[in-house]
Amino acid sequence: MRFRSAPAATGIAAIVLMATACGGGGGDEGGETAAEDTLVIWSDPERADAIQGAAEEFAEANGITVDVQGLAFDDIQGDLLNAHQAGNAPDVFIGAHDWTGNLVRNGAVQPVELPEDRAAGVEETALEALSFDGRLFGVPYSQENIFLMRNTELVPDAPETFEELVEIGTELKEEGETSEVLAMAVGQEGEPFRMNALFTSAGGYLFGQDDTGTWDPSDLGVGSDESIAAMEKIAEYGEAGEGVLRRSIDTENDAVLFYEEDAPFFIAGPWNIGDANESGVDYGISPIPGFEEGGPASPYIGYHAFFVTEGSSNSALAQEFVTNYVTDPDFILSLYEADPRTPVQTEALESVSADDPNIAAIAEAGADGMPMPSIPEMGETWEPLGQAQAQALAGEDVREAMEAAHNTIAEQIGG
């Protein structure tokens, strides 16, 4: 496995110091983004009111106003790039960590000067995820990852390996207790996001990393012997094998199979918790188990973060806001109340975990996870890799499918 969950050789402290040395430039570039007495922040509507309320103290202390503008989250990256080019971008915005590479290469964000004492209170892998070329470009505040949800009436104890999961689920199916072994979305086009946990456990990898921990698109692993062997292992549980992983199970019916007790296990995400509670199923949350003779299963982790726009006329205030307010536990908790995502700030995580055991369980399930690669080339991988994985699970030749996907991705990214 090519992902390092520990800090890169330079270390988080070095990344923070490097960000301090390189950050803050460009305050007079790109035109004014807002009146100098107004800090403009872009957020999705769900969190806009919470950010506005929490930022009032900051505004008062600095003799400015804060204007939080709500945009659809999926539109923020594209709108930000357009606004930056036009010279009227916000000072600060919320975004996903996997936007980082694209934002940096477009010159749209500036390095963040995060003090070491503030960095020490944030989960290390989250800081790695927001780093590019050894520099920190955003302050993460929440994470989300998939996990195993099980029906505790049918399965009191969490399985320790994927083989044990299949054995338990198969026995329940044969006894007529359930109709499926596992509700894991595959779909006709594949689901690389969900499949990554098993793919990494079996030894597969998508991209390698360079010495700074930045994802390296020149090290494309889809068609490697390791990745082909990994998919051959996974295909043993596909439609031509155990029949556990099937294309007929997708994101439209995976949750329903679990809620209606037709499957004892479900590869779920935080977005499923509300419906799971309403379903009445007694459930438990645990890490996705890896293969018995493989490594740990590494689900993708997604982080949400605050970025400072390059060329902001309020650069110093924007840096102050994201480093000292976004890392404050009370600020994180106010955002959690508006939009309950697992905090990456240690004190805030401990606080919400005390009230909601699911939060601690989800965080534990992501302990062996890997940040979704943040390089722009990642966008070219989903469709070819998903199709190859679906073909493998359908019983087609694994090597042929994976090598074809590798060649398609390499051509698209110019590798």
Q: Quick one: pLDDT at residue 35?
A: 57
pLDDT of 234 above 80: yes
pLDDT of 19 above 70: no
Instruction: Point out which residues pair with 41 in neighbouring strands.
Output: 68, 92
For the segment 246-269, what is each residue's pLDDT rounded down to a tens digit? 999 999 999 999 999 999 999 999
The CATH code of the domain at 145-300+374-413 is: 3.40.190.10
Q: Maximum CA pair distance of the chain?
A: 70
Instruction: Point out which residues pair with 71 in neighbouring strands.
Output: none
Got the DSSP string for 163-212? HHHHHHHHHHHHTTS-S-S-B----TT--HHHHHHHHHHTT--SEEE-TT
Cβ atoms of 276 and 257 within 8 Å: the answer is: no
For the segment 128-151, what is each residue's pLDDT rounded down to a tens digit? 999 988 899 999 999 999 999 999
- Domain ranges (residues) in the chain: 11-144+301-371, 145-300+374-413
For the segment 206-219, what is each residue's pLDDT rounded down to a tens digit? 999 888 778 899 99
> For residue 31, what are its two tokens?
């035109």
- Strands (E) in 221-363, as ranges, are 265-268, 283-286, 300-308, 342-343
Cβ atoms of 180 and 263 within 8 Å: the answer is: yes
The CATH code of the domain at 11-144+301-371 is: 3.40.190.10
DSSP annotation of 108: -
Q: Quick one: pLDDT at residue 57?
A: 87
Q: Quick one: pLDDT at residue 23?
A: 37
Q: Quick one: pLDDT at residue 211?
A: 84
Instruction: Point out which residues pair with 143 in neighbouring strands.
Output: 303, 342
Helix (H) or strand (E) holding 92: strand 92-96
pLDDT of 154 above 80: yes
Quickly state the pLDDT bin for 179 (edges 50, 70, 90). very high
For the segment 53-106, what is each residue's pLDDT rounded down to a tens digit? 888 889 999 999 999 999 999 999 999 999 999 999 999 999 999 999 999 999
Q: Quick one: pLDDT at residue 15?
A: 36
HSE-CB at 301 with a 13 A cutoff on CA atoms is 33
Per DSSP, the three-state class of 370 is strand
pLDDT of 11 above 90: no
Quickly state the pLDDT bin for 271 (edges 50, 70, 90). very high
For the segment 302-315, what is each residue's pLDDT rounded down to a tens digit? 999 999 999 998 99
d(CA 300, CA 2): 14
Q: Quick one: pLDDT at residue 414?
A: 84
pLDDT of 293 above 70: yes
Percent of the chain whose pLDDT exceeds 90: 82
d(CA 34, CA 37): 8
Q: Quick one: pLDDT at residue 1?
A: 35
Cβ atoms of 206 and 98 within 8 Å: the answer is: no
pLDDT of 340 above 60: yes
d(CA 100, CA 358): 29
Cβ atoms of 183 and 257 within 8 Å: the answer is: yes
